[in-house]
Structure 1
Amino acid sequence: MLFHYDGRTTEWDEFEWSKRAIHVSVRKQTKWWYAKRFLHPDVVARYDYIFIWDEDLGVEHFNAEKYIELVRKHGLEISQPGLQPDKGLTWQMTKRRGDQEVHKVTEERPGWCTDPHLPPCAAFVEIMATVFSRNAWRCVWHMIQNDLVHGWGLDFALRKCVEPAHEKIGVVDAQWIVHQAVPSLGNQGKSDNGRAPWEGVRARCRKEWGIFQTRLADAEKAYYLERGITPPNSTVV
């Protein structure tokens, strides 16, 4: 099954396997929108691992079978390959380290990490090239919001699906990828008041991140209150 967010489907006919695939095309959506609707945990339960990857990743240095071997060896439930240093890099956690198989912690810019066991210094991978175990995906799938397209903020919440998160979430350095930083999705935005199309897409991403954070906080608060537990970081008056 191949999902298309750009409306380009016949271009894939050059590949023989494409003619046997099921093509689903919905414009201006992203992989998380498709994953929520077509990758229900029961549907993909036959698979040990689920790869939810962006389309602009170079895989010349990546071997999926060796990757899974390392994931199992190091007990990772949620992971991603390391990114080639300084190429499309946002977070230090995702940067490939050439001297080890896997890393689970990092140092970020001053003030970015309030706790060394919390994102983005630990228990963190980016939503760009995430790999989930079957059990982790069942939890993460429920966190994906039907009406939020871009998935921003989800990577900071993944830790809620595994325990202890700082041990079961990590980056596989020995199998690495290159982020080619092709801005294909950003070009689907609309120009508004002189802003470039990609700026509109970025603004929506940030807005969705805020909405997701609010919903997650409200859901956690309701969960604790329902069980008569004082929510963390709350003050009893």
Structure 2
Amino acid sequence: MRLMLSVCCGIIFGLIVGISLPSSSLTKLNITSSIVSNFPIARDRNNVVSDQKPADPSIKIQNATDQLKIWVPSNPRGAERLPPGIVASESDYYPRRLWGKPSEDLQSKPKYLVTFTVGIKQKHNIDAAVKKFSDDFTILLFHYDGKTTEWDEFEWSKKAIHVSVRKQTKWWYAKRFLHPDIVAPYDYIFIWDEDLGVEHFDAKEYIKLVKKHGLEISQPGLDPRRGTTWQMTKRRGDREVHTTTEEKPGWCADPHLPPCAAFVEIMAPVFSRDAWRCVWYMIQNDLVHGWGLDFALRKCVDPAHKKIGVVDAQWIVHQGLPSLGNEGEAKDGKAPWKGVRDRCRKEWTMFQSRVANAEKAYFKSIGVDPSNLTSH
């Protein structure tokens, strides 16, 4: 009895001491967690220590704020902090009204885009060309002479998109104003010069033939009577489309490579949406005249010798008017156009070197000796 009484008194005394001591005392007494855990009353410090300060509310707020932060790595670069539902990676050239419901702005959405790089001297030629394109085309004019209001005499010009920067070429404009995410709504993009005769051309029929033959990059055939340079781009009168040709001896190392196949000239190219996305990335350098680009277009479609071609049934005339060439600078007794031509040749050499070096660097990076590769 005496022993049992002593044990009960000890337990009661221990409980009283445990309740009266602050939680910090347990730490000071170095009581192990295993011993403390044996006392149910000691597990819940909020119950055991009545004078302990409540948790800092700012910590809970901070935790809640962290949970509400948005970070989506799959969003476009720079937009990771936005919810995916608000991210729009593409836009368009469709004009909007300044009034009314936004949802009612667009009565129609053109499926194709045609661009011309123009000067006012060729306005009547461009007027004739634009009239060959239906309302299913957005018209975009790049003005290299700074004159835009002079085009208002044409009714279609009031609906067209006008971009004006002096003394620039169409590839300079294309790099800056034809981003693939901006022209994404268009199935095909025409990037044309201003000196093209279109008497025998119809844009609707052209699109039909391009789709029928599966061409990703194309151009209308050129009138063979008007000083064409390449056999490939000359119009043939016995077919709708051609994708190969025979050139002068020694000009084609491979019948599937330019200029015997997989080749169109840069004066009047037409690109599918997907092909243009590739070409746009390829031209992001100091190339502005585009010389040499026509030999590299094949890198953007596969198989190029089947998906790059010339539409013979819809043909044009290259008039060869040196309007933009005259925007050059007369220097050392040379005419302005000669300086422009020299720049064209330099660009061609630079572009060829750039492409070749980039390909060599790539193959070396994956452990392939470029010298063992054949042309492709």
TM-score range, shorter chain: over 0.9
Q: C-alpha offsets along residues 119-178 of structure 1, whole Å, 9 cap, x if unaligned? A: 001110000100011110010000113422101111000000111111111000000111
Q: C-alpha offsets along residues 176-206 of structure 1, whole Å, 9 cap, x if unaligned? A: 1111111101101122222211111000000
Is residue 2:345 matched to residue 1:206?
A: yes
The counterpart of 1:178, out of the listed 317, 329, 341, is 317
- The structure whose residues are more often helix, as a share, is 2
Is residue 2:338 matched to residue 1:193?
A: no
Shift of 1:75: 1.2
Given residue 199 of structure 1, which amino acid in structure 2 is its aligned partner?
Answer: K
The counterpart of 2:170, out of the listed 31, 40, 63, is 31
Q: What is the CA–CA distance in structure 1 between the aligned matches of 2:320 and 2:268, rounded to whole Å?
A: 13
Is residue 2:284 matched to residue 1:145?
A: yes
Distance 1:222 1:186, change over 3 A: same
The counterpart of 1:52, out of the listed 191, 196, 200, is 191
Given residue 186 of structure 1, which amino acid in structure 2 is its aligned partner?
Answer: G
Given residue 16 of structure 1, which amino acid in structure 2 is its aligned partner?
Answer: E
Is residue 2:306 matched to residue 1:167?
A: yes
Shift of 1:23: 2.4
Given residue 27 of structure 1, which amino acid in structure 2 is its aligned partner?
Answer: R
Q: What is the CA–CA distance in structure 2 between the aligned matches of 1:206 and 1:233, rounded to whole Å?
A: 30
The counterpart of 2:367, out of the listed 198, 220, 228, is 228
| Identical-residue share of aligned pairs (%) | 80
Is residue 2:352 matched to residue 1:217?
A: no
Q: What is the CA–CA distance in structure 1 between the aligned matches of 2:292 and 2:198, rounded to whole Å?
A: 25
Given residue 236 of structure 2, which amino acid in structure 1 is its aligned partner?
Answer: R
Match of 1:130 in 2: 269
Question: How many pairs are equivalent?
Answer: 235
The counterpart of 2:153, out of the listed 9, 14, 23, is 14
| Higher Cα Rg, which structure | 2
Is residue 2:242 matched to residue 1:99?
A: no
Tell me if structure 2 keeps the 8 A contact 1:33–1:146.
Answer: no
The counterpart of 1:62, out of the listed 190, 201, 210, is 201
Q: What is the CA–CA distance in structure 2 between the aligned matches of 1:205 and 1:147, rounded to whole Å?
A: 11
Match of 1:156 in 2: 295
TM-score of the superposed pair, with normalisation by structure 2:
0.60
Shift of 1:74: 1.0
Larger relative contact order (Cα-Cα within 8 Å, sequence gap ≥ 6): 1
TM-score of the superposed pair, with normalisation by structure 1:
0.94
Q: Structure 1 segments of 4 or more deviating over 4 A?
A: 232-235
Specify the SS of the correspondent of 2:313. strand
Given residue 193 of structure 1, which amino acid in structure 2 is its aligned partner?
Answer: D
Tell me if structure 2 keeps the 8 A contact 1:103–1:170.
Answer: yes
The counterpart of 2:248, out of the listed 102, 109, 114, is 109
Specify the SS of the correspondent of 1:149. coil
Tell me if structure 2 keeps the 8 A contact 1:101–1:173.
Answer: yes
Tell me if structure 2 keeps the 8 A contact 1:32–1:151.
Answer: yes
Distance 1:88 1:233, change over 3 A: farther
Specify the SS of the correspondent of 1:118. coil
